[in-house]
């Protein structure tokens, strides 16, 4: 999995020690379907996720990540949830925790395909027939697709 240059530089100094990183989750909707990727590192189906680059706006990062990973162009509709991920240990031993900004995005254009080496598959799934995935990703999808007009923030 490609590691952003700024994270690689930080890792030169801190090794595998925990890093606090800003992240995005893009829940991409097209009619009654959601775009998912099957991650190359662990085989899990997830919405599109990624790390916000230094100085980058989170909504712009979400659009960029979708295009880089799937070849699809999207428009950000709204911020649906801000949360902190549980601590993660990546397959290379790097530890991280993410401040996640979950966005509901609307499909604009493009044929979905595996567009980088972060995914082994990309597919549209009916909202009512999503594949099995880790609960936090299912929660992000359901929150984004709910008709709430307010952003969910964790308070405990």
- Per residue in 43-60, pLDDT (tens digit) is 999 999 999 999 999 999
**CA nearest neighbour of 95 among 87, 104, 84, 103:** 87
Model pLDDT for residues 56-107, shown as the tens digit of each residue:
999 999 999 999 999 999 999 999 999 999 999 988 999 999 999 999 999 9
Q: How far is CA 95 from CA 21, 86, 92, 117, in A?
A: 10, 11, 9, 21
> What's CA 124's distance to the chain center, in Å?
15
Q: Which residue range(s) make up the domain with 19?
A: 5-149
CATH number at residue 108: 3.90.79.10
Q: Does a structural domain hold residue 63? A: yes
Rounded Cα–Cα distance for residues 150 and 108 (Å): 23
For residue 51, being part of any structural domain is answered with yes
Structural domain count of the chain? 1
pLDDT for 117-143, tens place per residue?
989 999 999 999 999 999 999 999 999
Is 156 within the bounds of a domain?
Answer: no
120 within a domain of the structure (yes/no): yes
In a domain, 154, yes or no: no
């Amino acid at each position: 999995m490609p590691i952003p240059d700024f994270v690689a530089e930080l890792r030169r100094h801190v090794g595998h020690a925990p890093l606090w990183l800003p992240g995005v989750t893009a829940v991409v909707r097209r009619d009654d379907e959601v775009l998912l990727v099957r991650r190359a590192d662990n085989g899990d189906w997830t919405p599109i996720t990624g790390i916000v680059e230094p100085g980058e706006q989170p909504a712009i990062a979400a659009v960029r990540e979708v295009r880089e990973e799937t070849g699809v162009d999207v428009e950000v509709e709204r911020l649906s949830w801000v949360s902190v991920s549980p601590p993660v240990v990546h397959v290379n031993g790097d530890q991280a925790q993410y401040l996640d900004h979950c966005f509901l995005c609307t499909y604009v254009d493009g044929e979905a395909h595996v567009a980088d080496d972060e995914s082994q598959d990309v597919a549209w799934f009916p909202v009512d027939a999503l594949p099995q995935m880790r609960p936090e990703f299912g929660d992000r999808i359901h929150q984004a697709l709910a008709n709430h007009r307010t952003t969910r923030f964790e308070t405990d």
